[in-house]
Each structure stands twice: as structure tokens, then as C-alpha cells.
A and B are shown apart, each in its own frame.
Chain A
Amino acid sequence: MTDEKKTQIPDAQAIAEGAEVTKEMVQEYTSQNMDMDKMWITMGPQHPFSHGLWTLKIQADGEIVTDADPIVGYLHRGWEKEAENRTYPKIIPMADRLCYASSMMYTHLYCMTCEKALGIEIPEKTKYIRVMADEINRLQSHLMWLAAVGTDLGNFTAFLWASREREFWMDMNVRLCGARMTTNYPRIGGVRNDVFDIDLDMNDEEKSRFMRDIVRCCDHFDKALWDIIALIDNNSTFISRMVGTGIITREQCANLGITGPAMRGTGVDFDVRRDDPYDGYDLVDFDVPVLSAGDSYARYMIRVEEMFQATRIIRQCVDKIRSLGRSAPYRLKVPSRIPAGKTYCRIEDCRGEAAMYLVSDGTDRPYRLKVRSAIFVNVSSSRDLLMGCRIADVPVIMAMIDMCLGETDR
């Protein structure tokens, strides 16, 4: 076969001079010279499937994906280097910008790392306020993910409904810290303001309207989430796109370092909130949803269940904060200089395990601040997730890791 003389197609100049090219010649030429059974498709950085600026190159054999290669770094802005030139309090608003959807978590993580480095214990009320704020953030982040999944699957109703429910939590965010997304709420040694300070009911100072409304929001949301579930959970088109796609196993999770809902969807029963409790998570009662299927549907289910658990945690925190009252301390005055040393701290982000590693040198600025982003690790598993699936399933499988580029590229 190889010894045979290959068909030659006339080049551009020959065609211009009048050489003929027949259909048969082209077919013969391609079958001899080109590997047409596999091709690389580039999705992104500007593609409706990529929520943010990143590229996913997939190798497709017909309709089946045989290889995938994520490329990130379009949003790299030197966050870690920037942090080295700032004093410790000035990094808090920067930590907000790490991830627009879970800004509270990263700010909380940063403050927690500094507190650990200083070796201080924060007041009980602060712990509950932080946990409550974190869970509000988790809810709005998961709802944004649910809305994104809706559009990825062509289900625009789910997008609108999830966005509508998210607005209530955004309103709670505004009232708690004065901004919808870049919250800037935790401080090193406490939180910015007391929950009783906002929207005071002038007739009764102990009854804060924020505290009243957050319980109302929880009540409303529990019902509303059942409505969204009723709309999509048992929908046959939804199930056919989700069940059995993007399967990963426990072993793959361990090898790739996948954390968060994607890991719990494969049957690994681990949650930093429960197994390595930080701040107030050991003081509240909640369950960690775990499913063993390891497919997209399991990941979807875990996130939805986490939303129910989040309202459960918020209710407990509100009760505890109410019982502690206005007079309990919530913000400590801490030294501006952190003693030399190395500190590692981790947190259960909405998307997985986020961590910060702080090297301090005794001055008022960090020597080095390393961020471990859950998504940066999770997205590296895209090859294992996408192997063998169809091209049409790629958006929904990648949506299940809840891409956020701000924290990935930093």
C-alpha cells in the first residue's frame, strides 16, 4: 500500500493555470494522506459553553471525545505577587476579587489564615456570623451554577427561576455587608459589622430586621427550591443528559485531587466543614450529602442537597446569634504585624477545597501568600471526565465542576 504511487492534487498555481481537480481525486487524496478519524476541536475562550475565559481543546473521533486538554491563564493578573506589596488589611478587598461567586469564602479563608498565624481565637458570635455569611454565599453560588446548568441544557426556565431565587440571597448580602458580590465582610479578628446594626427596627432594638428577613428567606427558599426540583429533577431530557455521563471513580478522584461536590458525588465521604471543622462548623448540626454514582446527576444532586443543608445551617446560626445578643463581642483588635512563620489553612469552598498558605516574616506585609484554588485542580480532570462522552455532552459535564476563572488564574 505504501509503495504505491500516491494521488497528487495539483497545487494552487497549477489550478490557476487550468489543471482540473475532480471529486474522486480529493477523496482518494484524503483517504491516503490525512488522518480524518480524529480531530481537535477548540472550545473557548469565547464560546457559550465556557463560563469565563478558558479554552477546552477536545479530540473527537466522530461524535465521541477521545482526549481533552484544558488551557487556563487568560485571566491571570498576578494576585499572589500583588498581595506581597500590601499590608494585611488591604488584602481583604483583594481576596473578594478572587472569585466573584464565592467572595465571602475567600475573604473568610484569608482572615482565618491570618488569625491562625497570629494564634488568636475569635469570639463565638463571630464564628456564627461567619458561618451564616458563608452559607448565604454558598446558596447564591450554587444557584448561579444551577442557572448556568439550565442554560447549558437549553432549559431557560431553570435559569430564570434559579436567578430569581438568587436575588433574595443577594439582597441579604447587600444588607449584611453593603454590596452584592464583593462583600468585604470578614476582618482579621472578626467581622466588619454586627448583624444587629443593620436595618434596626426602631421600636425594638433587639429585633433586627435582617435577622427576621433571613429566616423568612430560608422559609421561602425551601419551598422555591422544591419547585425548581420539580421542574428539572425528573425531567426525562434532563435525566438523559445527566445520568451516566462524565463518570469518574473514587480512585480517579484521589489521583487527580478532585474535591468538593464532584468528589462527594463519587462516594468519598469527606467534607472539610465536618471533618476538619473551622470557625463555627463544629457548633452547628448538618449533614454531608454523599452519592456513589460518580456521574453528572450525582454532582447535581449533591449541590441541590447542599442548598437544603445551607438553609438548615443558617437557621441554627440565627438562633445562636439571637441568644448571644447585641452585647457579645464580634470584632477583635489584632496586631498589624504577623510574627514570622508558615501557616496553612483550608476551607470548604462552594466548589471544593480552597486553601491558603501564608509565609509571614514579622512585618505588616506577607512574604508569600499562596492560594490553592479548587477549580484549578478540578478542571485538570477534564480529560478523565470527558473521555468517551459525546460532544453534545461536553458543556453539561464541564458545567458540573462549576467553572470560575477568577480563582483559577488568580
Chain B
Amino acid sequence: MSMEYIEKYRDGRHKCWKDLWIVRPIFVTLKLMAKTTVHRPITVLYPYEALWNPDNYRGRPGLDFNKCLGCGMCAKYCPCSAIILVDTPDDAGKTVSRPQINMGRCSFCAYCAEYCPVDAMTVTPIVELAEYTRADLIYGPRRLAYENTTEGMKVRNEVTLYSDFQNGKGEIRQSFFGLDRPELDEKKCISCKKCQKVCPTGAITMVEHGTNAKGKPILWPEVSADKCVSCENCVSACPKSALHLKEVC
């Protein structure tokens, strides 16, 4: 067997072991014995004590009910289609749409937390999810609630625009939501205000642009740059496909 590599990189240490072929393993074993006598064991007694996990550990998703916009980004990006939006009464009794997660389908990828524009969805360290029936695995918006105590549970979504990076700027933006905004094809718009109704953040205002032949006002949606979260709800709600998301890269 050719030893060219071994001789080069093992510093001749393998040679001295060959001479001491029995002494070295015994030394190593005794060393470990001494070590394990002094140090605590590397394993934990699971039901009584749990492993330490960092803040960013991806357990089941948690939801801050009042922070949530109901924009449906989590449902849109869920690779397992585990999330659907359900109508739930909020604290004031008003019906709002909030995510419901089927934990039997969840793959713990934390995309819901990553693509949440307001950090309402977070990762939690909860991993003990065993239930007796499949129906028990469906977590409604209230059951998902988890008190978000640390910064680490928020999955950050900082980005740099590719155009910025190419120009040598490399400025990190805090979030990629709101960079892409819907753009209107004015010829197709029928002033139905559906986009305004579905917008979860109220970013869309209908601005009057003169009147049509019948004397009715022509209303075109205008998107507020501060409020838009690029959720594409207006795009999918538009009956005439007049809106499309313009990507900024």
C-alpha cells in the first residue's frame, strides 16, 4: 500500500504507534476512563432533563395572535401545505383570518417564521408533539400561541439587493418584505376596489383619476411603500389580472 500521503500528513505519528501498538490503545482507553470519572456523562436522562437547545431551534411554529396580519405568506410558502388560513374571532370579537397548522404535515423548515413580514410567526423549542389522534395534531391559531420572549426565535430575513451588490454597495436591508410592490396595468383596471379590501395592511388607497364616459370616477389603486409587505393578495384578488408583482432585485 502506498503511504506517500500518510507519510506527508501524519507527521510520522503513525510510525511511533506501530512500535507501541498495544501501549497506545491502552493509554487512550485509560485516559478516557479517567476523563469520564471526573466529568459528567455526555448523555442526559431524557424525560427528567432535556438537552439544551439554542434560541433558533426549530420546533413547532408559534404564533403571536395580535401581531399577525392574516396576510397568508406562511400558507403560501409552506412546502408541505400544512398551513391554511381560518376565520377566527379576535379579542374584540371581530372575525379575522389566522393560520392553522396541521402538525402531522409540518416538516419543521421554519419557512413560516422566515417569510412572516411582522415576525408574528416564530420558531419555538417545543418538540414534544405526540398526540393520540390525527385531529389533535391540528393546531388552531389560539393553540399555536407562544410567548415570544427572545430575539433569537425570530428568523431574520435580511437581504442585500443584487443590483446593490453588483454596484459594490452591499447594504443589508432589514427585511425583504415591501421591496417588491404590485404594479398596475391601468388599461385593465375596472375600479372594483377588491385589492383595497383584501390588503391586510391597508397599504392600498384608491385614487381618483378623472371620470369615465358614464360619468363615474376612475379609481386606481396606489400602494403605500411603508405599509406593503409583498403578500400578493391584491394580485390574486384582482378579477382582471390588472396587478402584478414587480420584483426588485
Contact = CB atoms under 8 A, between A and B. Distances in A.
Contacts of B57: 174, 178-179
Contact of B54 (A178, A289, A297): A178
B44 to A, nearest CB: 11
A333 B179 contact: yes
Interface in A152-204: 164, 167, 174-175, 177-179, 182, 184, 189-190, 192-194, 197-199
Nearest to A90: B79
B54 A193 contact: no
A226 interface: yes
A329 B25 CA distance: 48
Given A230-B24, A234-B17, A333 B5 contact: no
A18 interface: no
Could you say which interface size class chain A belongs to? 35 or more
Contacts, number: 138
Nearest to B153: A178
A291 interface: yes
Contact of B152 (A120, A198, A229): A198
A89 B77 contact: yes
A335 interface: yes
B96 interface: no
A118 B171 CA distance: 21
A182 B56 contact: no
A265 to B, nearest CB: 10
Could you say which interface size class chain B belongs to? 35 or more
A297 B3 CA distance: 12
A328 interface: yes
B1 to A, nearest CB: 4
A331 interface: yes
B25 A93 contact: no
A9 B66 CA distance: 84
Contacts of B54: 174-175, 178, 198-199
B193 interface: no
Contact of B162 (A90, A174, A332): A332
A388 B156 CA distance: 56
Interface string A79-99: 000000010011111101100
A189 B156 contact: no
A35 B165 CA distance: 72
Contact of B13 (A94, A189, A226, A243): A226
Contacts of B42: 164, 167
Contacts of B107: 93, 97, 182
A227 interface: yes
B1 A184 contact: no
B56 A335 contact: no
B1 A293 contact: yes
Nearest to A82: B79
B7 to A, nearest CB: 11
Contact of A331 (B27, B152, B158): B158
A96 B58 CA distance: 14
A93 B111 contact: yes
Interface in B150-175: 152, 155-156, 158-162, 165, 170-172
Contact of B160 (A230, A333, A335): A333
A391 to B, nearest CB: 24
A308 interface: yes
A336 B179 CA distance: 13
Given A120-B162, A123-B170, A329-B172, A291 B109 contact: no
Given A179-B108, A182-B107, A233 B249 contact: no
A364 B5 CA distance: 47
A332 B166 CA distance: 10
Interface of B: 1-2, 4-6, 9, 13-14, 17-18, 21, 24-25, 27-29, 31-32, 42, 53-58, 77, 79, 107-111, 114, 123, 152, 155-156, 158-162, 165, 170-172, 176, 179, 247-249
22 contacts: A90-B79, A93-B79, A120-B162, A123-B165, A174-B57, A175-B54, A175-B56, A178-B110, A178-B123, A179-B57, A179-B108, A184-B110, A193-B156, A194-B158, A231-B29, A234-B18, A243-B1, A289-B5, A291-B1, A291-B6, A301-B6, A329-B170
